[in-house]
Amino acid sequence: MGVRVREVGRTYRKGRRKNEEVVALDGLSLDVPSNEVHGLLGPNGAGKTTLCKILSTVLLPTSGTAEVFGLDVVARADDVRRQIGIVFGGERGLYWKLTARQTLRYWAALYKIPDARAKGRVDELLERLGLAEKADDLVETYSRGMKQRLHLARGLIGDPRLILLDEPTTGMDPVAAHDFRGLIGELRAEGRTILITTHDMDEAESVCDRVTLIDKGRVLATETPRGLAEMSGLQQWVEAETSVDVDGLPGVVGTERRDGVLRVRVVDAAAARVVIDFLLDRGVRSVRAVPPRLEDVYLDLVGRRGMGV
């Protein structure tokens, strides 16, 4: 097992006299098998960063246990640290007066990577993250996306078996975000385990083997993105290139047209069948059923909770 979390609780104290208690994690359990790309999804304040911090040994759980490759994150913190790479999103934690190459050499030294090997490893990461050309420019001259890629390179310097990514693509431009998805695929192909928190449901849907929805420090569901869509019982879509009208058919909730494509929202699979047959009968080809997107499922599950239902 890559990550095994059992009933982990974490509270923070806040307020002027530290007398106010905030429950960040409320008995959370989670299994991430080795070599899985696992998404951690949930609204702001759900407890995602707190969990990442506990797994990366920088924060202690208040209760419960967590293991990384069978190593307890509290009792074996040093051993755990050798297995993991952490990338917290944003621009913090970089020295602006260093270059990318210097930054990575510095981190290689912290990870006690011998000089001879560090040079090759740094060159490889600079190349891989698209930083080679600007490798000797100061970090302060980098775009936000470049700083994020440098964060990623830094997280990979120790050749980690588990990579913890906390909102790694927030603020990345679409091209960088696309390249990032490719990189996740490569890291997975190398046998690494990846836990990634993100707000981008399309990203989660495309890179994650499974996702865990968390809210208020608890797990709502752990599933494949597709499984979650099916489990949600949410409406699905039928798409077709046609000008035929389907309004009024049973089970049709709504329709929209864009670029010659008709999108029909239906209540369930049976309703999708009716619409598909109707269109096929009228000679329409290129008809397809589309399951709800992870984004719809997320809004449904988290949104519903948010309203106290």
Task: Name the residue nearer to ligand ADP (CB basis): 41 or 276.
Answer: 41
**CA dist list (Å): 135 to 106, 131, 146:** 14, 6, 10
Closest residue to Mg ion, judged by C-beta, is: 49
CB-CB contact of 148 with 179 (8 Å):
no
- Minimum CB distance to ligand ADP, residue 240 (Å): 39
Pick between residue 46 and residue 68 the one whose CB is nearest to ligand ADP. 46
CA distances from 140 to 58, 143, 147, 288 (A): 27, 8, 9, 49
Q: Do residues 183 and 125 touch, judged by C-beta distance below 8 A?
A: no
Interface segment toward Mg ion; rule CB under 5 A; list 13-21, 45-53, 68-76, 112-120: 45-53
- 196 bridge partner residues: 39, 165
| DSSP alpha helix (H) spans, 190-267 | 201-207, 225-231
User: What is the smallest separation between the CB atom of 6 and ligand ADP, expressed in angstroms?
Assistant: 18
208: partner contacted, choices ligand ADP, Mg ion, none (Cβ within 5-8 A by kind): none
DSSP secondary structure letter of residue 249? S
What are φ and ψ of residue 63, in 5° steps?
-150, 165
Contact partner, 240, from Mg ion, ligand ADP, none, Cβ < 5-8 Å per class: none
Q: In this structure, what are the phi and psi dihedrals at residue 146, rounded to the nearest 5 degrees? A: -70, -40
Shortest reach from residue 64's CB to ligand ADP, in Å: 15
CB-nearer residue toward ligand ADP: 20 or 256: 20
* 206 phi/psi in degrees, rounded to 5: -85, -30
Instruction: Kindly tell me which residue out of 49, 103, 198, 232 binds Mg ion, with binding defined by CB under 5 A.
Output: 49
**Minimum Å distance from CB 46 to ligand ADP?**
4
Least distance in angstroms from the C-beta of 143 to Mg ion: 22
CB of 109 within 8 A of CB of 118?
Answer: yes
Nearer residue to Mg ion within complex by CB, 48 or 134: 48
Taking CB within 5 to 8 Å according to partner kind, which of Mg ion, ligand ADP, none is near residue 95? none
Q: Of 59 and 249, which has the nearer Cβ to Mg ion?
A: 59
**Those residues with Cβ within 8 angstroms of residue 283's Cβ, 6 or more apart along the chain or in another chain:** none
158 contact choice in ligand ADP, Mg ion, none (CB below 5 to 8 Å, kind-dependent): none
Residue 151's CB is within 10 A of a number of other CB atoms, namely: 23
The footprint of ligand ADP (CB under 6 A) covers 12, 14, 22, 24, 42, 44-50
For residue 212, the minimal CB distance to ligand ADP (Å) is 12
Binding residues for Mg ion, rule: CB under 5 A, are 48-49
